[in-house]
Amino acid sequence: MKQRAVIIGAGRIGAGFQWSDLGYTHAGAYRALADRVELVGFVEPNEERAQSAKLKWQLPVYEDVPTGLAAMRPDVISVCSQPQDQADIYKFLIEYRGIKGIWQEKPFLLGNILEEWPPIQVNYMRRGDVMHQSIHATQMQGRLVVYGKDDVHTKCHFEDLARWWRCTLDYRQFNGPCAYIYEAGGFHHFFDNGGVDGATCFRAMLGNLLDHIEGKAELWSPAV
Check pLDDT > 90 for residue 109.
no
Q: What confidence tier does 179 reach under pLDDT thresholds 50, 70, 90?
A: very high
Instruction: Give the CB-side neighbour count of residue 175, counting CA atoms within 13 A.
Output: 0
- Model confidence pTM above 0.85: yes
Q: Which domains does the chain have, with CATH numbers?
A: 3-124+198-213 (3.40.50.720), 130-191 (no CATH)
pLDDT in tens, 136-173: 999 889 999 999 999 998 999 999 999 999 999 999 99
